[in-house]
Amino acid sequence: MFGLFKKKTEKEKLQERYNKLMQEAFELSKINRTASDNKYAQADAVQKKMESLDS
């Protein structure tokens, strides 16, 4: 209840974005492989940002 208005950290925001991009890449892989590869590349860039925050 008290965590209701807690703001998300930068890492949590990046993790949500990464998960969303990976889901979109998976869905696109069934239809359009080129678009799927582009989404995967975006997700990879987000993952690298998350790793840079850890170090």
46 secondary structure, DSSP code: H
Residue 1 within a domain: no
The model carries a pTM of 0.85
Q: Per-residue pLDDT for 54 more than 90?
A: no
41-51 pLDDT per residue, tens: 999 999 999 99
Domain that holds residue 21: 10-54
Residue 40 in any domain: the answer is: yes
Spatial contact of 40 and 25, defined as CB atoms under 8 Å apart: yes
d(CA 9, CA 33): 33
| Domain-embedded: residue 22 | yes
- Give the pair of three-digit tokens for residue 34: 């080129």
Would you say residue 5 lies in a domain? no
Q: Is residue 2 part of a domain?
A: no
Inter-residue contact 28 to 35 (CB < 8 Å)? yes
Q: Which two tokens stand for residue 15?
A: 């993790």
- Could you count the other beta carbons within 10 Å of the beta carbon of residue 33? 10
Question: 47 lies in a domain?
Answer: yes
Report pLDDT digits (tens) over 15-43.
Answer: 999 999 999 999 999 999 999 999 999 99
Residue 3, domain member (yes or no) = no
What pLDDT, on a 0 to 100 scale, did the predictor assign at position 1? 58
**Total domains in the fold of the chain:** 1
